[in-house]
Amino acid sequence: MTDHEARSLRGVARGGAIGMVGAAVSALSGFLLVAVITNTYSKHVAGVFFSATSIFVVASAVTAMGTEAGLGRFLLRFEATRRFADIRVVLRAAFVPVVVVSIVVGLAMVAGARPIADLAGLDDDGAAIVAVLGVTLPFAVVGSLCLATTRGFGQMRWTVFIDKIFRSAVQPVAALVTGLLGLGILALTVGWALAYVLAGVVAIVTLRRFYRRRQASYTDSEPPAPRQEIVGQFWSFTWPRSVAQVSQMVIQRADIIIIAALLGPASAAVYTAATRFMMIGQFGTQAVQQAVQPRFTDLIARGEHAALGTVFRISTAWSMAMAWPLYLVVGFAPHVYLSLFGSGYADDGRSVVLFMVAAMLFAVFSGPVDTLLLMSGRSTTSLFNSLVALTLDLVLCFVLVPRMGIVGAAIAWTVAIVTRCTLAFVQVHRMWGINPFCAPTMIVASLNAVCFAAPVAVLSLMTDAGLLTLCAVAVAGGVAYLAGLWFFRKPLMLSTFRALRARRPAPMPSEVASR
């Protein structure tokens, strides 16, 4: 392993580790939120809430306009080349339209709350819920953009502390309080939305202080490029990503909205519960992918193609190591998992779980292919993949849901995810000659099969296992799994996590430029 490969992997390890902590808290909080709501409210109320908040999440993706990827591509790159004046142009190009559009869309949600609620199949409280979410939207979107800016400079901790930990942890607590007090769905929504408002305000203040300190080191800047040229470069990269980001979010959330509209809120509640395990499984992969984004940009800019392949393959193995155990345990014991959400969820949701597990195993194994496409400047290619997947998902949902219920939505989602990952997989291989087939990924897959898939499958086939029995088997498998990872620590390059001991802040421009 070359010095630059080692340095890049240490950066991924450091950023991925702190991101993983936040993502773990966020994923667990999201899971607890669903569990609290399904155990304290009726299926109908839970379904209305899940459908309304899905509309909010889609609206947030629309108004963010893909700017996160644009900031991730340009900020560190301009610092490395001392184009400090151009950084300010990029920030204005990102913030001004997002602030304006988020306010406009939020006002539109408030004004059109009743029609939106009727279209989504929500009940009489639906209009008030949509209005509350409309007021919340600008705070959530602008706050998220502020945190994306700090990540674009290579700093993960503010995203972890403000969004992944604070905002995520407040929401299930608020839901539990409203449920125990016997309050209705409007109070539940207000408590959930208030967390976004508070996090948004804190994020705005944090970015102002962070950027002011960073500007102090902006000396000996290169002459600025024409403003229109920089804005054009930023949006020519970002606008396809905006559409792609919306497409991906619609794929994640549209099935809930469609199920609520076609089958009713109760079915949407069952579907939401059946798919929540993905949030926990994704915490590690999301943390790694956020950490590799600036590393991919740096390696591509330097022409370090061999190091790029190494970082891609090792980060894929790390993602598999964190996500696959949960997916396999849930996939081989879906009845135990669904029992966590109360009565009436296990029978209808079991098939949904199986389809989702298969799709997520494949998606994680394919690696951060979409991130690599974006950082390679192929945002239009990523857009094409997302639109193909979105079209498949929506068409199949409307065809299959009326005939097969929530299982039809699961099939549609699985087809969409597998198609998008396969397209990106082939495109990355053609562009860079990179794929995830390597010794580290095979080692991780084998360890998961031996430590989790086999014992849980035997347990499910031979006994009517309960939660405690499953946990005991999973813990025993986990001990063996950790021992296996330690045994194979060299090919998995786990020694790079020694970077955590350094605890250095994000590099300042002078450090970046000197590398």
The whole-angstrom separation of Cα 115 and Cα 408 is 27
The whole-angstrom separation of Cα 203 and Cα 91 is 15
pLDDT of residue 16 exceeding 60, the answer is: no
Residue 451, exposed/middle/buried by CB under 10 A (0-12, 13-18, 19+)? buried
**Percentage of the residues of the chain whose pLDDT score is greater than 90:** 59
Q: Which of 208-222, 284-298, 321-335 has the lowest mean pLDDT?
A: 284-298
Residue with tokens 């009517």: 464
The whole-angstrom separation of Cα 242 and Cα 292 is 20
For residue 467, the one-letter residue type is L
- What is the mean predicted confidence (pLDDT) over 327-348? 89
Structure token digits, residue 71:
């900031």
Q: What is the DSSP string of 414-474?
A: HHHHHHHHHHHHHHHHHHH---S-SHHHHHHHHHHIIIIIHHHHHHHHHS---HHHHHHHH
The two counts, helices (H) then strands (E), for the chain are 22, 0
Q: Between the CA of residue 372 and those of 69, 296, 366, 430, what are the distances in Å?
A: 11, 7, 12, 12
- What is the mean predicted confidence (pLDDT) over 332-361? 91
**Percentage of the residues of the chain whose pLDDT score is greater than 70:** 92
Domain ranges, ordered by start, for the chain:
41-275
> Sign of the CA dihedral 145, 146, 152, 157?
negative
- What is the mean predicted confidence (pLDDT) over 33-56? 93
pLDDT of residue 502 exceeding 60, the answer is: no
pLDDT per position as a tens digit, 154-206: 888 899 899 999 999 999 999 999 999 999 999 999 999 999 999 999 999 99
Contact 336/464 with Cβ under 8 angstroms?
no
pLDDT per position as a tens digit, 453-480: 999 999 988 877 788 999 999 999 999 9
The whole-angstrom separation of Cα 242 and Cα 471 is 41
pLDDT of residue 346: 80
Structure token digits, residue 463:
């006994």
Whose CA is closest to 319, among 356, 281, 358, 264? 281
Mean residue pLDDT across the chain: 88
Contact 55/126 with Cβ under 8 angstroms?
no
Contact 274/356 with Cβ under 8 angstroms?
yes
pLDDT of residue 513: 37
CA 256-259-264 angle, 5° bins: 120
pLDDT band for 511, please (50, 70, 90 cuts). Answer: very low
Helix (H, G, I), strand (E, B), or coil: what is residue 367?
A: coil
pLDDT of residue 507: 43
- What is the mean predicted confidence (pLDDT) over 354-361? 96
Q: Is the pTM of this model over 0.85?
A: no
pLDDT of residue 11: 56
The whole-angstrom separation of Cα 249 and Cα 271 is 17
pLDDT of residue 76: 80
The listed range with the strongest mean pLDDT (46-55, 255-264, 476-485) is 476-485
Contact 309/433 with Cβ under 8 angstroms?
yes
The whole-angstrom separation of Cα 62 and Cα 240 is 12
Q: Between the CA of residue 317 and those of 288, 313, 357, what are the distances in Å?
A: 10, 6, 18
pLDDT of residue 152 exceeding 70, the answer is: yes
Helix (H) or strand (E) holding 79: helix 67-80
pLDDT of residue 86 exceeding 60, the answer is: yes
pLDDT per position as a tens digit, 91-131: 999 999 999 999 999 999 999 999 999 888 787 788 899 99
Q: Between the CA of residue 152 and those of 197, 222, 507, what are the distances in Å?
A: 22, 20, 12
The whole-angstrom separation of Cα 489 and Cα 440 is 9
pLDDT of residue 409 exceeding 60, the answer is: yes
pLDDT of residue 175: 96
pLDDT of residue 504: 44
- What is the mean predicted confidence (pLDDT) over 301-309? 84
Whose CA is closest to 492, among 320, 326, 361? 320
- What is the mean predicted confidence (pLDDT) over 303-322? 90
The whole-angstrom separation of Cα 367 and Cα 297 is 16
pLDDT of residue 15: 54
